[in-house]
Amino acid sequence: MGYVIEQERKHTLDPEYVKHVILEKANHSYAINHKITEVLSSDSWKGQECFIIGGGPSLSDFDMSLLDGMNTIGINRAFQFCPNTSINYSMDSDFYDKMMRGDYDKPNQKRVKDVWLDYRGLRVFLTPMELKQYGQEVFLVKRLFYKSLSTDLSAGIYGGCNSGLGALMLAAALGVSTIYLLGYDMRIDKKTHWHGGYPDKNLEEFVAKLSEYRKEIEDMSPLFEKVGIKIYNLTENSTISCFPFIDANSILNRGAIKNVSSI
């Protein structure tokens, strides 16, 4: 059994709002969907290493096959281009709905929905704030509402406002000792994402969001250090400065990190 470390609360949500609006809907959503604890536990990746694949354009020419056989968490559309990741994580229920509707489909290409359903890894979403039922292929991780780091998967995770932070929190709850970040650019270099991005992105708004995402991760970074989880940024020219940078090749060429647990 793990534990939860909370940051100091600077703002308190109205108790009635939490009870009758947020918790009622979120808890009901958690109850009617599959749960990640049905297939994984806090010890699933205990003491192991994990790679998290973000969406930054720095991964445009990256050979994803280098990660085969490792503990990996892909974010959002990573499953479409990295079919061998262990987990695909997202917190955006709207992303799921668009995928099911075919909003990301392109002519003469396999439907994204079909790629999603063929994906062999574990498909994980953070419990949504609204009342929602996902498909049977999705497993929910419980949402914590206050800034905290949890090493107890059954207690849930704090997802924050971006999937990049949520994926870090998920890795911590699975018991990892070391996390390597790929594609955590938190900046735009000609395009928003290495995998082509999303058709409705407003660049000006997205740049502002990236600044918020970076600050949120940096604000939470001391909690990872407190529980002894080491995090290294393998993203060259990343704007995230709270984690030490290591060249990706020096890590991926070690040949000694394939200590993956099956899921």
Taking the C-alpha atoms of residue 66 and residue 93, their distance in angstroms, rounded to an integer, is 30
Q: Which pTM was predicted? A: 0.84
For the chain, percent of residues with pLDDT exceeding 90: 54
- Least confident interval from 41-55, 58-72, 248-262: 248-262
Averaged pLDDT, 180-202: 63
Task: Using pLDDT thresholds of 50, 70 and 90, give the confidence band for residue 256.
Answer: very low
Averaged pLDDT, 26-37: 91
- Least confident interval from 76-80, 194-198, 232-236, 238-242: 194-198
Pick 89 or 201 by higher pLDDT.
Answer: 89
Indicate if the pLDDT at residue 209 is higher than 70. Answer: yes
pLDDT in tens, 85-110: 999 999 999 999 999 999 989 899 99
Q: Give one DSSP letter per residue of 240-253, joined into a string.
A: --SS-B--HHHHHT
Q: What domains sit in the chain, N to C, each tagged with a CATH number?
A: 4-252 (3.90.1480)
What per-residue confidence (pLDDT) applies to 194?
A: 41
Taking the C-alpha atoms of residue 91 and residue 219, their distance in angstroms, rounded to an integer, is 19
Averaged pLDDT, 77-82: 88
What per-residue confidence (pLDDT) applies to 8?
A: 56
Taking the C-alpha atoms of residue 77 and residue 205, their distance in angstroms, rounded to an integer, is 20
- Least confident interval from 117-131, 186-200, 212-226, 231-245: 186-200
Check residue 121 and report its DSSP letter.
S
Indicate if the pLDDT at residue 262 is higher than 70. Answer: no
Check residue 59 and report its DSSP letter.
G
What per-residue confidence (pLDDT) applies to 258?
A: 43
pLDDT in tens, 135-149: 999 999 999 988 899
Pick 65 or 202 by higher pLDDT.
Answer: 65
> Contact at 8 Å (CB) between 192 and 198?
yes
Taking the C-alpha atoms of residue 35 and residue 31, their distance in angstroms, rounded to an integer, is 8
Task: Using pLDDT thresholds of 50, 70 and 90, give the confidence band for residue 6.
Answer: low
**In the predicted model, what is the mean pLDDT of the chain?**
84
